[in-house]
Amino acid sequence: MANFCTAFQAHHVLAGVMAMKLEQFLELQQGNLSVMEYLAQFNHLSQYASKHFSTDHKKKERFIWGLDTKIQKMLTGSSTTSYHETVNITISFEEKNRLHKEAKKRKHVHMGFSCGSNQRQRFVYQPGHHPSYHPPQQHV
């Protein structure tokens, strides 16, 4: 199958297009994309870079390299062995992180906080202005 794809690309896809797609693949990073959007672009462009990523391990490392650094950090402790396991963990992590943020947001709104209400009140010193103290008067 791999030989067919290589032969097909060599015959039907221009060398300039192949080079451009390879460059796009090598520069691909998640950025503001969701993991699923990044994965779709990664899989699409990786077909133009099959010679560069001949093993599952190399493909997995390249996938991780383009991910958001927060997700990369989470994967550091993971001992996954395959590209597909890494993708599954990454998708699951993003979904759990999204649900956590939503729950936190709902809790924040439910508790009745408004923007800035949990900040301490600030007093500004004004030289020359001293409020006078009036003791409470006693009623006889």
Domain ranges of the chain: 15-110
Q: How far apart are CA 58 and CA 64, in angstroms?
A: 10
The structure's pTM equals 0.65
- Residue scoring higher pLDDT (73 or 139): 73
Work out the angle at residue 45's Cα, subtended by the Cα atoms of residues 42 and 47, and round it to the nearest 5 degrees. Answer: 110
- Closest by Cα among 80, 5, 89 to 39: 89
Give the single-character DSSP code of 131.
Answer: P
pLDDT digits (tens, 9 = 90+) for 27-74: 999 999 999 999 999 999 998 888 888 899 999 999 999 999 999 998
In this structure, the chain runs to a length of: 140
Predicted pLDDT at 12: 57
Say how far apart CA 118 and CA 96 lie, in whole Å.
27
- Three-class DSSP category at 124: coil
- For 80, phi then psi, to 5°, come to -65, 150
